[in-house]
Amino acid sequence: MKIVVLGDSLSAGLGLPVQDAFPAKLATALNAKGLAVTVANAGVSGDTSNGGLERLDWSVPQGTDAVIVELGANDALRGLDPKLTQKALAAILTRLQERHIAVLLAGMEAPPNMGADYTRAFDAIYPALAAAYPVVFYPFFLEGVAADPTLNQADGMHPNAAGVDVIVARILPQVEELIARAKRASKAG
């Protein structure tokens, strides 16, 4: 089974050796559970949700069974209109659905310095998309890692290797559900 992680620097592994990036550590954890999967790293540092949409077709090649969508952090950091972020993410989910590819949507939260109105609008994007599309939903990609200096690099924004371990451990049940859905879809199709 081939999984692609379509994301930004958080999944690309900015500042980390390749083997410590989220896709590599996720593949190791899944393989340790006896699941024969490959996890491709289609993370691009600095990418926005719209950037992910623009490169979707070549980042998610034919033969992909499942995609983990981890985008939006840079949209929030740049203060982009949450409606545009939601529109781009919805387009990604629609195109993957049309291709019969199972999706795990990893949510993001706005940084607290963006103000209450922006935070409320941005943080509502992911639950709304999860309600509208048949995705496996993981509400906050950085759950348990964000703002913990022991789990982040010196910039305070990107997880270190220990932080990636926490992300993998927390998201693993949802990834296993994603794999189960992808297997069911391939049997049905």
Of 8, 47, 65, 158, the catalytic one is 158
9 is catalytic: yes
79: helix, coil or strand?
A: coil
155 is catalytic: yes
Of 8, 123, 155, 165, the catalytic one is 155
User: Starting from the edge strand earliest in sequence, which strands make up the sheet with 66-70, in order?
Assistant: 38-43, 2-7, 66-70, 102-106, 136-138
C-alpha distances (whole Å) from 24 to each of 21, 27, 109, 119 are 6, 5, 24, 31
Beta bridge partners of 2: 38
Beta bridge partners of 38: 2
C-alpha distances (whole Å) from 105 to each of 136, 174, 182 are 6, 10, 14
Both tokens of 2, joined, read 């081939």
Of 8, 9, 11, 47, the catalytic one is 9
Kindly give the interhelix angle for 125-132 and 82-98, rounded to the nearest 10 degrees: 30
Residues annotated as part of the active site = 9, 155, 158
